[in-house]
Structure 1
């Protein structure tokens, strides 16, 4: 089967879905790998690197015309969707719940679509879970970005001129990104606090040295390993419990997202008004509306003396590492889905069932066609 690796078209995303190393491994498995020209250039992978691995360099038009499988990271844009052919298979983060019209177009073209972001949170799928691999890097990068934007340093420092107190960091959301943010901030010497609707994350946060701000969630917890939308009552009680720490924080990192829905609003403008002058908020949920009321995607907003940086969970700025991890996830996923270079179409398998969104022109919902 011919695999076509597309260059990312989303502004600011420097990643590539398949690296030269993984291209070589796919070729060894019997696939014919073809890569769009300069697809890996922004991740420091040259066309010649792919050629040495055994892949061929092609134009976008050639890939859409001749590939059996088309792979990328972000959802296909409208121009790309219109180029799909009947019988082609697309694999990407499709975010199908929030992009239903894209799924409709894929179905109308008679194509098949697998969504990497729909991977179930089960042990068998851990090495295919792109959300975990990418969020891990995003949590690290959020702290580094915060350190650059702050006017203070993280660690306690004793000098002849006096003692510098350690910075205070507050992390909203103790998923993969939040845990890495906690670990990184602690390594840099900060005092770290964290909160999450999922009480099972308390032990994880504390194991990394953070103080966990516990709010009774009355059984709201999580669903399928993902955080659920909090009730108004929980949101109110969380604000009351966290405000003291929020108003003292030098850096706040928010990571709370619910698949297919707007990011939960965790920090209002009224709360921002009461934060320390010079504090920094890194909002990793800005792409889905933001956890802070004042966040604007891909912009830095300074309001009430606080710097609010709206960004995403996608670690584009460390694209070499991010591409490497994403490519490994995709390789493991393809190995799981295929046998002898052919797709198994095992709809009884949970991984296949939950990630197969469009099957031969038919949109599927929870393992059933619709």
Structure 2
């Protein structure tokens, strides 16, 4: 079988400053005898200059040459021009949005063997290549810092000669990886933090970080079953439970200074957690940071997030409330985001590249099978 060479192109989406491989991971690949070709300046926005790649054995090449390798590693689905420069049969590995059927068809039409790492199962064995967790961790941290930036007051309580400043009240909705990091960061900044999640197991995690868990008790077996989630993800909850949660969130949001929403269900629109009438009742100067921006329901000619008023990649003020809809927070911390992501890719490559440096796609491996999106012109994922 043909020995592999790995290409790392420049990410050409606007605002995407991450790079698929860092020099640290390139060194580990070249030590295994794998040829790595990095497009010139691919890592510059993440503070990895070309010279750092050369020192660990990579070749610096043009974008087209990086795309010409038989394995191409990306952060996101390449733009159409770059897809056209990929050879039929190329192994494309990255965060390829496996829930977007149109995107999958486009990759299949290009003759690519595409692996979407977001589709990896939530199992102990797959943790080391869990790209959703590694990037959500960064997003949750950055969300809190952005909230603090837009909030016109202090986060911690301060006792000064001029008087006492009350601590900010932060409400975090959704206690997955991003939500838990947002809670931890807000606590470090001295805020009073409350959090809610549909899963009962989140209570212990929330309270271990020093936040108060806002409990909406289950009243039916259907609610209880949905609250357990599925394959490590939250599930859509019954309307009866959602109505009780909405009433509680409405009251807590009115008292909050900062609300951070992180609720996403894979393959489905993000649920509405902060409706318009809630925003209208919030305090002037308060802040919403919506990590589901651009993935919610349509509202007045735009797609919202967990709040209908959220506008993708914009910061807007509605009813005196600042609503932050930045959709790629991990890319705003590209150095660490790239470092974690590159290690995720390395762990995945170990599953499909043998010690002899050849490709072996073993569909009996649950991780490989789950992430394989397209092959031989066919879309393999069901929509």
Q: Comparing 38-47 with 330-339, which one deviates more in the overlay?
A: 330-339
- State the secondary structure of the residue aligned to 1:311: coil
The within-5 A match list for 1:36-47 is: 36-47=39-50
The within-5 A match list for 1:99-118 is: 100-118=101-119
Gaps of 5+ in 1: none
The within-5 A match list for 1:280-319 is: 280-289=287-296, 290-312=305-327, 314-319=329-334
Q: Which residue is equivalent to 1:211?
A: 212
Is the counterpart of residue 51 in structure 1 residue 54 in structure 2?
A: yes
Q: Which residue is equivalent to 2:367?
A: 351
Q: Which residue is equivalent to 1:177?
A: 178
The within-5 A match list for 1:12-31 is: 12-31=15-34
Counterpart pick for 1:259 among 251, 262, 266: 266
Offset of 1:134 from its aligned partner? 0.9
- State the secondary structure of the residue aligned to 1:347: coil
Counterpart pick for 2:94 among 70, 79, 92: 92
What's the RMSD between the two structures over aligned residues? 1.5
Is the counterpart of residue 60 in structure 1 residue 76 in structure 2?
A: no
TM-score, normalised on structure 2?
0.92
1:113-156 per-residue CA deviation (whole Å, 9 max, x = no partner) reads 00011111111111111111111111111111111110111111
Does the aligned pair in 2 maintain the 1:173–1:255 contact within 8 Å?
yes
- State the secondary structure of the residue aligned to 1:226: coil
Counterpart pick for 2:239 among 232, 239, 248: 232
Q: Which residue is equivalent to 1:328?
A: 343
Does the aligned pair in 2 maintain the 1:193–1:211 contact within 8 Å?
yes
Q: Comparing 192-201 with 78-87, which one deviates more in the overlay?
A: 78-87
CA distance in 1, matches of 2:20, 2:159: 46
1:66-119 per-residue CA deviation (whole Å, 9 max, x = no partner) reads x00011101122222222222110001111212x12222322232200001111
Q: Which residue is equivalent to 2:161?
A: 160
Q: Comparing 313-322 with 187-196, which one deviates more in the overlay?
A: 313-322
CA distance in 1, matches of 2:371, 2:61: 28
CA distance in 2, matches of 1:307, 1:106: 38
Does the aligned pair in 1 maintain the 2:249–2:273 contact within 8 Å?
no
1:254-283 per-residue CA deviation (whole Å, 9 max, x = no partner) reads 111111222111111111000011100011
Change (3 A) 1:101 1:83: farther
CA distance in 1, matches of 2:109, 2:187: 50
Offset of 1:313 from its aligned partner? 5.3
Gaps of 5+ in 2: 297-304
- State the secondary structure of the residue aligned to 2:374: strand
1:16-36 per-residue CA deviation (whole Å, 9 max, x = no partner) reads 010111111111112110011
Q: Which residue is equivalent to 1:3?
A: 6
Moved over 6 A (4+): none
CA distance in 1, matches of 2:63, 2:339: 22
Is the counterpart of residue 220 in structure 1 residue 236 in structure 2?
A: no
CA distance in 2, matches of 1:79, 1:140: 34
TM-score, normalised on structure 1?
0.95
CA distance in 1, matches of 2:286, 2:110: 49
Q: Which residue is equivalent to 2:147?
A: 146
Does the aligned pair in 1 maintain the 2:291–2:327 contact within 8 Å?
yes
Q: How many pairs are equivalent?
A: 365
